[in-house]
Amino acid sequence: MTTGALEHVPQHNTAIVDRGVLQTTEVIARVVRIQEIMKALMREGTHFGTIPGTPKPTLYKPGAELLLMTFRIAASPSNIEDLSTPDEVRYRVTVRGTKQATGDVVGEMVGECSSSETKYRWVKPVCDQEWEETDPSMRREKWFKGGGTPYKAKQIRSSPADVANTILKMAVKRGLIALTLVSLGASDIFAQDLEDLTEELRESIATEDAPKEPAKQPQRRSQAGNGGT
């Protein structure tokens, strides 16, 4: 038995709600702007560099700063972790990006650096006498490439305190570049950190990224001959 009263049926709003998603035209415009900046203002060797054998250029700190300025993004360390030990200086830095106009956070990325990395851990001795006076556990001889002919060079351990400021700045730089690539969606245009790797690691990456030659298809017997049947 009905009461004659109409039940209220909730109406679902089918309107599209804007969640802050960029329109396709805005995404395209951003990519085009990055390419325009790269072509008009960026110089290879200063703002970016190309590691031989790698598929895309590596973004440098000046290039990252230029892109952040273009899109009015302010970057600053939001957290610095000192992970150092008596034998190692090590920092992990979180870099935050905010819109200069509104203060809205666009992203955070982490950069880390350690004095145990090869290029900071070992230095060339001033002279043979310094090498001889250095504790054997604090020195080594390493092979290098030079003009195609390998050679061995003497190295001694650096003092972690001497490179502490450099380590901190490098951690900030790595976080800054990572923030730039992620916040601007530029990872398909630029690589990161390849210039910080040792020559051996760069060559290994270049070899892995080198385009592979397509496999040759086996010839049919009719094609392998000299035109005979």
Cα 97 to Cα 195: distance, rounded to the nearest angstrom:
23
Name 122's bridge partners.
Answer: 157
Nearest Cα residue to 68 out of 107, 29, 40 = 107
pLDDT of residue 32: 85
Q: How far apart are CA 188 and CA 171, in angstroms?
A: 23
Asked if residues 111 and 174 have their Cβ atoms less than 8 Å apart, the reply is yes
What pLDDT was estimated at residue 153?
93
Residue 211 tokens read as: 């385009």
Bridging pattern class, strands 58-59 and 105-114: unpaired
pLDDT score of 130: 95
pLDDT tens digit at each of 229 positions of the chain: 455 544 554 554 544 444 566 677 777 788 888 888 888 999 999 999 887 767 788 899 999 999 999 999 999 999 999 999 999 999 999 999 999 999 999 999 999 999 999 999 999 999 999 999 999 999 999 988 877 788 899 999 999 999 999 999 999 999 999 999 999 988 878 865 555 555 555 555 444 444 455 545 555 555 555 554 4
The pLDDT value given to residue 14 = 46
pLDDT of residue 139: 95
Q: Which residues contact 95 (CB under 8 A, 6 or more apart)?
A: 75, 76, 77, 78, 108, 109, 110, 111, 172, 175, 176, 178, 179
- Cβ-based burial of 122 (10 A; exposed 0-12, middle 13-18, buried ≥19): middle
